[in-house]
Amino acid sequence: MGHLVSINPATGEELARYPAFDSQQIQTCIAQAHERFQSYRRIPFAQRSAWLKRVAGILEERKAEFGRLISLEMGKTLASAVAEVEKSAWVCRYYAEEAEGFLAERSMLLRNAYANASGAEHFASRSGIRYQPLGVILAVMPWNFPFWQVFRCAAPALMAGNTLLLKHASNVPQSALTLERIFQEAGFPPGVFQTLLITAAQVAEVVADERVRGAALTGSEAAGSSLARLAGQHLKKTVLELGGSDPFIVLPSADLETAVTTAVAARLINNGQSCIAAKRFILHRAIAEPFTAAMTERFRQLKVGDPLDPQTDVGPLATANILQEVDGQVQALVQAGAKVHVGGSPLGGNFYPPTILSEIPPDQPVAHQEVFGPVALLFTVPDVSAAIELANSTPFGLGASAWTTDPEEQERLLEELEAGSVFINGMVKSDPRLPFGGIKRSGYGRELGREGILEFVNVKTIWVK
């Protein structure tokens, strides 16, 4: 069935290799998850909460160790990897403390009677909503945030009483196995959280199994479409968080210094490999020139190199294929007439420099695609209407950031930008307390917040006469 291989993207060194599970191993894991669900769903919230808080404690105690593993396996800087582990602990504590309240039975007294076909009136002495877990949930997770993406799915799913099977990205198998051990060390019963070392081709077998009741995926459009198609065939609930080509709009009243500083961080987060990274910078013509000059200078000052070096600002891209795709998109724009302000060609290995392009022909397909690397695309517009039109011209709708101190412009942007999240005068970020997800080809459903824990529960109406 092949192997899952961990390769250090900064050096090309093979770190570990694991054989993919065969069908018998997959079935054993599904059976264990299903069997464990029957008892785990009845464990009190207080006990689930205690276990999840212990997970948070392990993450906090060993964040340096786990951060180093993340950096070695997918290339993000060590500081950002440690921050990812800390954020993972946060989401665990959040759901450990809030899940019981989110899922508390809701009483809804129906004051008005209704009549059935015979005309007899029916009154409920008790009615409301009860939230119950669905069962075994499959989580198909990406390599770019190998801890955070898993925990933001697992924390609410497990607190709701579901059991989880993790199919992690094939290039981060060490992270995937470490996550399983963390849940075991925290005291969760065997079978509640299991890592499946499987390839993308083996996902179909898991989704087809009737004991698996739902699936969540964070990844590319292609991966999301494939999972949705499989789940549709078997009538399984899905939540998809897919790609993004997030706009970053800057209007004349903005604090330019703060906007530029945030723009650099928003584009280069995770070495530019983030679905909610700002990718298209839409600049009002009144501030386009100074903004471009300032952002270009900031990009020039950044250090590209070893992600374990504290002085490094931008590490390698995760794989050679990603680098080739990013460079192909850049060269296509250059050949179409785009202007390169900084960067624009590979540095060797998996390293790609922070790159800024402007004067991009609007009819170029790449201008509306997701560029999954440290490349900023700059556009100039005459007014806020044109900015909104350009921002919405992409098939994606994950996040959007806009910069203005004008209250009327702020309200218009909040209302008209087509995205799952709109931030005014701030960088788009996920937060355990707020729902997160996209529209259009960026997916559907929500993670995080109360809305996130409700995705994989049975919202059961109860009625008693």
What are the residue numbers of the active site? 241, 275
Could you give the angle at which helices 63-74 and 173-186 cross, rounded to 10 degrees?
160
Q: Backbone dihedral region of 300: left (phi > 0), alpha (psi from -120 to 50 degrees) or beta?
A: alpha
Q: Give the C-alpha separation, 214 to 40, whole Å.
A: 17
Q: Give the C-alpha separation, 188 to 169, whole Å.
A: 23
Q: Are 413 and 429 in contact (CB under 8 A)?
A: no
**Residue for token pair 């993004």:** 244
Please state, in angstroms and as integers, the Cα–Cα distance from residue 298 to each residue in 293, 295, 302, 327, 342, following that order. 9, 5, 7, 21, 10
Sign of the CA dihedral running 383, 358, 269, 290: negative
Q: Give the C-alpha separation, 18 to 171, whole Å.
A: 11
Q: Among 309, 248, 295, which residue's Cα sits nearest to residue 276?
A: 248
The separation between the first and the last C-alpha atoms of the chain, rounded to the nearest angstrom, is 56
Q: Which phi and psi angles does 392 have, rounded to 5°?
A: -85, 0
Question: What is the SS3 string spanning 167-219?
Answer: ECCCCCHHHHHHHHHHHHHHCCCCCCEEECCCCHHHHHHHHHCCCEEEEEEEC
Q: Give the C-alpha separation, 407 to 410, whole Å.
A: 5
**Residue for token pair 């789940």:** 231
